[in-house]
Structure 1
């Protein structure tokens, strides 16, 4: 079992004043990477080099009792203390992980979260840790960031919040919710920068061999698109395409891998997906290029190559045909422009006759009002997650091999 350095934690005699204190609440089957990413950022920011003394930062692992808590990978972590005085901390970070329909939360955990909220302590829900905040009735009417994978679970369980699945993390009042995974690293860097300054955050990231943190509004990577496809051969073909976007495979090779002839695969793929394999691959690659343009510093030439296009002119032509603007516009305007373009694309897909909009070449800030498609017939607003999910990706997502 892991105690994660509880035996260390001795500040030096001339330790600087602590500027950041975090209490971790690990839910059963929590994701280890989400916990360790934030923990290591605090550890490295707290001291000089990587000596790991809690001088500028302090942390603790809290639980209803001192029984070991199992991560989703099987590793067990011993809590350091039971719940007490949440006002000691600048943040309570709740780390979730695996869930199912029978998942419940310890009453003492929910009570502790309510106490922390009443004391004005900031609370962060990481991965499905946000579900515990919702269960404690702390998130009504608030934005709640969740990974694309767990978006259907969130909507099914809690209909009284605003789901966000197109960002890495979201701050809404005293509550921060994070998609989990490596986005926890970005959240940890945000916390350190807010309390200790950008130098400390950058120092920690450099020691962890990464160059910079992504902003809260950075887009989540695109999800797999085959979750609701029942035909296992088609699911495998879709997965092969998605795993090889930079180097597209020949249809013959994909068909051989899934155990079909080329003609058989083409026929069943079009029947199930509604488009040819080539069209499906092209759509994925152009949307991947869109995501890279908005969320990386790569040149447009490199983006085209990494998206599987043989030359930049081919990428530019297809990008303009799909979105009505040049890739350079997204490079200039960033993630918000990406969301606007996807809204625009959705509007043309859902119209009975795809319309050429009068604002085709309008500057980006004008697009949002001009292309925002009407919501559902009931008048309810469309979840923010839809803005980052093209029509052919609008399916329930689950593992498919």
Structure 2
């Protein structure tokens, strides 16, 4: 079966997808993607592979173990990539000591040579980079893995302000539930919108999000050279709903408060407390623009004691109150600031 050209309809035959499950692959993006296919493949919820077909593959043909320990079986050995319309590569827990199986990298290269479109889900994008097929391409990655990808592959520019990126024969996705959006995107392309909507509705998802839909986490794009500051920023980014004090950071990082504050001043020009507050405010702006949550709910979710506290700091940071940001999106106007990026330098305090 010849590989499908991106955007070309496959009416008359099933949409065929091969899954390459790498060591300790993440279960949610795998399940979200394959279930979307399964529900589009048949009437109701009968799971017959009529309009869509899928094959689970591992490098050795043995069961694949996910990051949570659940096993997927049966798996087949890596099949001819020309047998599929898409090859979906799903990565897992990232450990620099763990090397992606060379057989998987060779298979990815072979698929690219044959012209079979590749989809990298979650840390599957790391394998695509290692295989050498991402050169000159945009690479979507989760905000959570953005720093790791930037450190390991400095020649690659990660895209962490969108849930997925379509480069034609290469689609990369941040992972998580966004995998369902990618699956629905491909189902609509090949089978029609009705089948994509049918799958999503059974999965209790209102509608597919477009590739341009932003990830919810503000992303820090400028490189942070100091290892201690980098680790502190990672901790702050993972606790957006609470105030993490300098003392707590110092304890987590086995250092002193004075040292961590000095490092932040040298690296970023601000205190860790100010950095954390500004990051939480950016998250609050995202929630105002892309969710229906009230200002009170958003303030609580961003770690502020009450709506007044949140509104006061929000106005100081952006120059207008939260209510104005909400009205801007209601009127389909662009916000005055970009809620997804924080460019780290001495001017951060004033954006």
In the alignment, which of 340, 346, 349 is matched to residue 350 of structure 1? 346
In the alignment, what sits opposite 1:104? 99
In the alignment, what sits opposite 2:329? 331
Q: For 1:280 and 1:120, how far apart are their aligned partners in 2?
A: 45
In the alignment, which of 109, 115, 123 is matched to residue 110 of structure 2? 115
How far 1:109 sits from its partner (Å)? 1.9
Total equivalences in the alignment: 324
How far 1:180 sits from its partner (Å)? 1.4
Q: For 1:334 and 1:81, how far apart are their aligned partners in 2?
A: 49
Structure 1: 5+ residue stretches without partners:
1-15, 355-389, 391-401
Contact 1:95–1:128 (Cα < 8 Å) also in 2 = yes
In the alignment, what sits opposite 1:373? none
| 2:172 aligned with 1:177 | yes
In the alignment, what sits opposite 1:382? none
Q: For 1:198 and 1:302, how far apart are their aligned partners in 2?
A: 34
How far 1:65 sits from its partner (Å)? 2.7
Q: For 2:63 and 2:336, how far apart are their aligned partners in 1?
A: 44
In the alignment, which of 21, 30, 36 is matched to residue 25 of structure 2? 30
How far 1:192 sits from its partner (Å)? 2.0
Contact 1:66–1:78 (Cα < 8 Å) also in 2 = no
In the alignment, which of 181, 188, 192 is matched to residue 193 of structure 1? 188
Q: For 2:148 and 2:274, how far apart are their aligned partners in 1?
A: 30
In the alignment, what sits opposite 2:76? 81
Q: Bigger shift: 212-221 or 165-174?
A: 212-221
Contact 2:318–2:337 (Cα < 8 Å) also in 1 = no
| 1:304 to 1:244, Cα distance in 2 relative to 1, 3 A | closer
Q: 3-state SS of the aligned residue for 2:119?
A: strand
Q: 3-state SS of the aligned residue for 2:61?
A: coil
Residue pairs, 1:295-334, within 5 angstroms: 295-298=290-293, 303=298, 306-307=301-302, 315=310, 318-325=313-320, 326-328=324-326, 331-332=329-330
Q: 3-state SS of the aligned residue for 1:54?
A: coil
How far 1:54 sits from its partner (Å)? 1.1
- Write the deviation string for residues 232-257 of structure 1: whole angstroms up to 9, x where unpaired: 9x99x9699x4645xx89x9xx99x9
In the alignment, what sits opposite 1:372? none
How far 1:66 sits from its partner (Å)? 1.7
Q: Bigger shift: 87-96 or 153-162?
A: 153-162
**TM, length-normalised to structure 2:** 0.74
Q: 3-state SS of the aligned residue for 1:59?
A: strand
